[in-house]
């Protein structure tokens, strides 16, 4: 990770020189079409004709722009200010997860997890342990537990494809981890222990790889929900497609224990990384929870990207707070 961190530092230093002109943020429109990059190169294929997902992918990396060639990333407002969407159309994934209740989450993305009332109440209690868009004392990532496919299906990863299986090697989720998807026609085993990655089998529907996963334990969280629950009876169905250098993703989550209906997740995508970049596995180090802050009535973190409402109007919602917003670390 040292090499990647150094490159981020260089990128950040370059950005500081233009901060007087640019307001750095990221849009929440992460589900837009893949754009010109998908058509810039032909989709690679395996000898059997199926799309080849092999490659090194980046998704939401700080300091690396995800904007597509030809994608508009700057907007000049009436007062001459320049809004620079450095993340491109898929940026702002974490920024869109602000909020301290399920209702606030639902109001923003219109697609909350369909919890049964008794489990919704538990999730509400979990939110009370949150401070800001990411920090939560209950987060299993703080204990270096793998994020699992429902929380981090895409990310900084190397995909290796073989006619009988695909392997996803994650740089940090939160530490280095891997996932295997079998495509050799096998079925799920009848008896097996649950795990963080579960058991995944895939089949092709045209150019789409459909992946069926069972056997997930109940120790992971789900993406799009900053504090979440699921049972070990959860069933995950994913659809992967590749267009040029873009990997597109869609998922449906079924949990007969905690959900009232299947949950169709918002679309995601990841881009092939820059030439010469490669996976740099990061060891996870458990964070010291004693330094984590918890929301109180007098000390509440309101947003992730704190922008001036005069620039963005009334649609900023939780993204606008006073300049005196409290620190996320206790004692600061």
How far is it, in rounded angstroms, from Cα 8 to Cα 63?
5
How far is it, in rounded angstroms, from Cα 75 to Cα 90?
17
In this prediction, residue 290 carries a pLDDT of 74
- What is the full DSSP assignment across 13-45? HHHHTTTTTEEEE--S-TTS---HHHHHSPPPB
Query: Among 311, 331, 307, which Cα is nearest to 319's?
Result: 307
| Phi–psi pair at 242, nearest 5 degrees | -125, 130
For the chain, the residue count is 332
In this prediction, residue 31 carries a pLDDT of 37
232-284: pLDDT as tens digits: 999 999 999 999 999 999 999 999 999 999 999 888 889 999 888 899 988 88
Domains of the chain listed by start with CATH number? 114-272 (2.40.128)
Provide CB contacts within 8 A for 236, sequence distance 6+. Answer: 149, 150, 198, 211, 212, 213, 214, 216, 251, 252, 253, 254
In this prediction, residue 10 carries a pLDDT of 39
Q: Which tokens go with 276?
A: 């010469």
Provide CB contacts within 8 A for 10, sequence distance 6+. Answer: none
In this prediction, residue 119 carries a pLDDT of 94
Pairing status of strand 199-205 against strand 177-182 = parallel
What distances in angstroms separate CA 221 from CA 127, 134, 165, 170, 305, one per listed residue? 13, 12, 26, 17, 23
Residues 236, 150 contacting (CB under 8 angstroms): yes
Q: Any bridge partners for residue 203, and if so which?
A: 210
Name the 3-class secondary structure at 135.
Answer: strand
Q: Which residues of the chain have pLDDT under 70?
A: 1-39, 60-75, 83-109, 132-134, 224-227, 287-288, 300-332
Query: Among 154, 231, 238, 151, which Cα is nearest to 194's?
Result: 231
Residues 92, 27 contacting (CB under 8 angstroms): yes
Residue matched to tokens 């979990």: 126
- What is the full DSSP assignment across 169-202? EES-SSSSEEEEEE-SSPPPPSS---BSS-EEEE
Q: Which tokens go with 22?
A: 């640019």
In this prediction, residue 118 carries a pLDDT of 95
In this prediction, residue 310 carries a pLDDT of 45
Query: Among 173, 142, 165, 226, which Cα is nearest to 59's?
Result: 173
- What is the full DSSP assignment across 279-297? ----------GGGB----S
Provide CB contacts within 8 A for 332, sequence distance 6+. Answer: none
**Burial status of residue 81 (CB atoms within 10 A of its CB: 0-12, 13-18, 19 or more):** middle
Pairing status of strand 74-76 against strand 82-85 = antiparallel
In this prediction, residue 45 carries a pLDDT of 97
Tally: H helices and E strands in the chain: 5, 15
How far is it, in rounded angstroms, from Cα 247 to Cα 29?
17
How far is it, in rounded angstroms, from Cα 211 to Cα 94?
25
């Amino acid at each position: 990770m040292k090499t990647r961190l150094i490159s981020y530092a260089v990128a950040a230093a370059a950005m500081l020189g233009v901060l007087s002109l640019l307001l750095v943020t990221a849009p929440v429109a992460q589900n837009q079409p893949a754009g010109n990059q998908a058509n810039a190169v032909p989709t690679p294929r395996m000898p059997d004709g199926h799309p080849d997902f092999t490659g090194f992918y980046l998704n939401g990396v700080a300091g690396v722009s995800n904007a597509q060639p030809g994608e508009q990333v700057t907007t000049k407002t009436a007062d001459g200010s320049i809004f620079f969407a450095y993340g491109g159309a898929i940026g702002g994934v974490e920024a869109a997860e602000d909020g301290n209740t399920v209702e606030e989450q639902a109001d923003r993305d219109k697609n909350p997890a369909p919890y049964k009332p008794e489990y919704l109440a538990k999730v509400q209690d979990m939110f009370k342990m949150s401070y800001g868009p990411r920090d939560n004392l209950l987060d299993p990532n703080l204990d270096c537990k793998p994020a699992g496919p429902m929380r981090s299906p895409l990310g900084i990863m190397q995909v290796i494809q073989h006619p009988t299986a695909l392997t996803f090697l994650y740089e940090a989720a939160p530490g280095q981890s891997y996932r295997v998807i079998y495509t050799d026609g096998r079925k799920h085993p009848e008896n097996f222990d649950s795990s963080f990655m579960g058991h995944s089998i895939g089949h092709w529907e045209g150019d789409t790889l459909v992946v069926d996963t069972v056997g997930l334990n109940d120790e992971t969280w789900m993406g799009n929900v900053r504090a979440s629950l699921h049972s070990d009876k959860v069933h995950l169905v994913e659809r992967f497609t590749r267009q040029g250098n873009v990997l597109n993703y869609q998922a449906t989550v079924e949990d007969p224990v905690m959900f009232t209906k299947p949950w169709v997740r918002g679309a995601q995508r990841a881009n092939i990384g820059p030439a010469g970049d490669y996976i740099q596995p990061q060891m996870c180090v458990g964070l010291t929870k004693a330094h984590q802050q918890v929301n109180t009535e007098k000390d509440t973190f309101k947003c992730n990207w704190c922008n001036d409402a005069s620039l963005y109007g009334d649609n900023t919602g939780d993204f606008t707070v006073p300049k005196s917003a409290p620190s996320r670390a206790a004692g600061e």
